[in-house]
């Protein structure tokens, strides 16, 4: 049993819980999985002898009236996860997925100013790229952005997106030549009054879909008017794929279009056009990650992404003043408010499953430094950990406390609080699996659309913040400087140091720096 975000620690110490729960029985915990008599003996033996990374030390395993009870050795579990590492971290295991992924966000191709609905797929693609890289997958973001207004909004939101660049003219020319030979293309008469001037030809997408037997595409797809701009977009995509494969990733490269539901129809057109012009494996491996609509409540006028950021920044500043008093107008506090604003927006747009509708409430009451489901709340608890360790280090310098001993010498049997076991079992233990699952891009079961667990990290951080806050408000980590209390203080500091590192690693996937103060 390795735990997970779905396995919550519940129950009173020593009492068996219902199936599927974790009950605390110091110095071990019981995980009830099956009803009485339902578990084969070889399974019980396998659970008892299980070992390896992420597997806790099992004390015993037996059938009970409540189900199969697996007893875990708590001190050994703490020692395994909080003690000295056995060696350098192994490289991420190579899975069945692609070795490289091109994340395409067509919202950034628009010459118009970005709106809040554009930010959802952009932030999702940026977060997904970080998650994939953490799993050892090469991730490229396209298109390169040239609009200065869009670049400024991305900079404010700490989105690391490529800028500048242009599609190769040779690639565009190759696509034009392919069109001239394409059985699905019909040339347009130059200067035809009924067509825009930049139209090169018509492509009959419906015929292609029917002949290829492609599933899942919009039945209203019919004729596409091909322009040079569309060919440049495809050429940039193809160039990104070729750069991935030329960089040592071989031929395992996937293309994921991260689109809003409003852009889905147009991206299906481009998907099919690429399949027609380039029948290779890369065009055939396209996937579509579609974001649900973003509804803005009570807008007095259409609001752009920049206005949305500035509004949230002002609201975050006012909320901070309300909690902490008038803030100093220095660079440090400006950086804090900017970071809190970015955290608020990222959690606001990414905490909901990407396929669901998202409602943005622009009223000031929707932004708070106290709301337990907000990015600001997560950043606040991360800062509390920084303050704790800063206070401890200053006390060490003053001679109040001794330095933290090596992890191998700590007495983890002092960690008896249920909140301590919860932090270990529900967060420290399953965190690598949370990152791995959030980065998984499953093959489409039918058609080209996929879903992903892109909300997992935000939800994980919110729940961690709630449970850490509950524990921290109840327990005095830095107690009186009496030698007989040091063992417990050291064990708690080691535990919370691991929690702090977990916060930092998770926030890094969102391009959010940890704050040392709020």
pLDDT in tens, 148-188: 999 999 999 999 999 877 778 888 999 999 998 999 998 87
Q: Where are the domains of the chain?
A: 22-82, 100-291, 305-441+453-508
Q: Is the pLDDT score of 356 beyond 90?
A: yes
Q: E strands along 229-345, which residues? A: 253-260, 286-291, 294-297
Q: E strands along 344-409, which residues? A: 358-361
Whose tokens are 């595409």? That residue is 217
Q: Is the pLDDT score of 507 beyond 50?
A: yes
- pLDDT given for residue 493 in this prediction: 96
345-373 mean pLDDT: 81
121/285: higher pLDDT? 121
Residues 6+ away with beta carbon under 8 Å from 172: 228, 231, 232, 235
Judged on CB neighbours under 10 Å (0-12, 13-18, 19+), 124 is buried
Phi first, then psi, for residue 302 (nearest 5°) are -55, 130
Q: How far apart are CA 14 and CA 27, in angstroms?
A: 9
Q: Is the pLDDT score of 472 beyond 80?
A: yes
| String of DSSP letters for 156-206 | HTT----B-----HHHHHHHHHHHHH-TTEEEPPTT-TTS-TTEEEEEEHH
For 20, the token pair is 């599927």
Q: Is the pLDDT score of 230 beyond 90?
A: yes
Q: What residues are paired with 9 via a beta bridge?
A: 22
Coil, strand or helix: which one is 301? coil
- pLDDT given for residue 191 in this prediction: 57
For 294, the token pair is 């973003």
pTM of the complete model: 0.86
Q: How far apart are CA 94 and CA 135, in angstroms?
A: 9
Q: Is the pLDDT score of 240 beyond 60?
A: yes
Label residue 267 by pLDDT band (50, 70, 90).
Answer: very high
38-65 mean pLDDT: 73
95/182: higher pLDDT? 182
Asked if 100-291 and 305-441+453-508 have one fold, the answer is no
Right CATH for 305-441+453-508 from 1.10.3720.10, 3.40.50.170, 1.10.730.10, 1.10.357.10:
1.10.730.10
Right CATH for 100-291 from 3.40.50.620, 3.20.20.70, 3.60.110.10, 3.30.365.10:
3.40.50.620
Taking only the tens place, the pLDDT of each residue in 57-88 is: 777 777 777 667 887 878 888 888 888 766 55
Out of 30-44, 166-180, 433-447, least confident range: 30-44
- pLDDT given for residue 16 in this prediction: 37
Q: E strands along 352-490, which residues? A: 358-361, 449-450
267-272 mean pLDDT: 95
Query: Which run of H or of E encompasses 22?
Result: strand 22-25
């Amino acid at each position: 049993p390795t735990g997970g975000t779905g396995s919550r620690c519940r129950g009173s110490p020593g009492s068996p819980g219902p199936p599927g729960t974790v009950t605390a029985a110091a110095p071990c915990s019981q995980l009830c999985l099956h009803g009485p008599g339902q578990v084969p003996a070889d399974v019980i033996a396998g659970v008892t002898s299980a070992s390896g990374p992420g597997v806790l030390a099992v004390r015993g395993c037996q059938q009970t009236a409540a189900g199969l009870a697996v007893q875990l050795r708590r001190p050994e579990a703490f020692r395994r996860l909080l003690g000295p590492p056995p060696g350098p971290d192994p490289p991420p295991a190579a899975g069945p997925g692609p070795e490289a992924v091109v994340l395409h966000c067509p919202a950034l191709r628009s010459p118009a100013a970005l709106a809040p609905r554009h930010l959802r797929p952009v932030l999702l693609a940026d977060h997904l790229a970080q998650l994939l890289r953490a799993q050892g997958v090469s991730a490229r973001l396209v298109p390169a952005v040239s609009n200065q207004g869009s670049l400024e909004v991305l900079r404010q939101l700490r989105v690391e997106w490529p800028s500048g660049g242009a599609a190769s003219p040779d690639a565009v020319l190759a696509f034009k030549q392919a069109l001239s030979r394409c059985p699905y293309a019909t040339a347009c008469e130059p200067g035809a009054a009924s067509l825009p001037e930049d139209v090169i030809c018509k492509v009959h997408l419906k015929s292609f879909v029917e002949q290829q037997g492609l599933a899942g595409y919009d039945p209203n797809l019919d004729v596409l008017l091909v322009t040079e701009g569309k060919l440049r977009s495809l050429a940039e995509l193809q160039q990104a794929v070729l750069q991935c494969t030329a960089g040592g990733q071989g031929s395992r490269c996937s293309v994921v279009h991260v689109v809003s539901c409003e852009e889905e129809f147009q991206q299906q057109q481009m998907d099919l056009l690429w399949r027609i012009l380039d029948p290779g494996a890369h065009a055939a491996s396209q996937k579509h990650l579609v974001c649900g609509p973003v509804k803005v409540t009570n807008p007095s006028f259409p609001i752009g992404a920049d206005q949305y950021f500035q509004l949230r920044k002002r609201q975050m500043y006012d909320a901070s003043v309300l909690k902490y008093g008038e803030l100093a107008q220095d660079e440090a506090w400006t950086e804090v408010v900017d970071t809190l604003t970015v955290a608020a927006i990222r959690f606001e747009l990414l905490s909901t499953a990407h396929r669901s509708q998202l409602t943005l409430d622009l009223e000031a009451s929707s932004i708070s430094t106290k709301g337990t489901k907000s990015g600001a709340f997560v950043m606040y608890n991360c800062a509390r950990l920084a303050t704790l360790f800063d206070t401890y280090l200053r006390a060490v310098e003053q001679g109040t406390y001794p330095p933290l001993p090596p992890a191998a010498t700590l007495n983890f049997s002092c960690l008896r609080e249920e909140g301590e076991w919860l932090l270990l079992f529900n967060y420290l233990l399953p965190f690598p699996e949370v990152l791995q699952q959030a980065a998984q891009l499953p093959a489409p079961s039918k058609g080209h659309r996929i879903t992903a667990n892109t909300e997992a990290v935000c939800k994980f951080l919110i729940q961690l913040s709630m449970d850490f806050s509950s524990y921290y408000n109840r327990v005095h980590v830095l107690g009186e400087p009496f030698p007989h209390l040091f063992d417990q203080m050291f064990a708690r500091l080691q535990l919370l140091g691991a929690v702090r590192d977990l916060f930092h690693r998770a926030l890094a996937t969102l391009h959010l720096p940890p704050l040392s103060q709020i």
